[in-house]
Amino acid sequence: MGYKIHVARRTLGAEVKGFGLELDPNETKGKMVLVCFWDMGQRPSRNCVQELAKKAELLADRGVRVVLVQAETVDEEKLGAWLSKRSIALPVGRIRDNVDQVRRSWGLRSLPWLILADRKHIVTGEGFGLDELDEKIKGIENADR
C-alpha cells in the first residue's frame, strides 16, 4: 500500500527530476529511495542531513539510495559551501519555483521531512523521524521476502 502524492502510483524517480536531481536509473533500480526535504537555515534540518550523510554507506549497503531536496529558497554558493565543508556527498536538488505550492503538493508539514519509497519507488512512509528509519526499512525488507 503506497502513499498517494495527488496522482496515484507516481514514482519518485519522475518526481525528483523537477528538483534538478538526475538519478541514474541504474543507481535506483530495485533500490529503496529516501528523500529528505530540508532547509539549510534550520538546525534540525542540518542535523538530519549530517546524520544521513554519516549513514549513507550503511544505507547503500541495505539497498537505500538517499537524496536531499533543499525546500526553501537559498543562495546556491552558500549551500554548496555548507555541503562541501561538511563533506556531504549525497545528491542534492532544490525546489526552484513556487516553494509553498510544491511543499503543499508533497504534503510537507515541517522540515526536515523524510519520504521513503520501496524498491518499486512507491512511497511507503513519510513524515517520520530518523529514529524510525530503520524500522521503516525493515518493514520493506520483510515485505519483499
Domains annotated on the chain, with CATH: 12-144 (3.40.30.10)
Q: What is the pLDDT of residues 58-71, one digit of tens each?
A: 999 999 999 999 99
Four-residue CA torsion sign, 3, 117, 46, 70? negative
Query: What's the CA gap between 12 and 17, in Å, rounded?
Result: 9
pLDDT for residue 6 is more than 70: no
| CA-based nearest residue to 14, from 88, 113, 122, 86 | 122
25 pLDDT band, cuts 50/70/90, is confident
| The C-alpha cell that represents 46 in the structure block | 542540518
15 pLDDT band, cuts 50/70/90, is low
pLDDT for residue 3 is more than 50: no
| Cβ proximity of 34 and 115 under 8 Å | yes
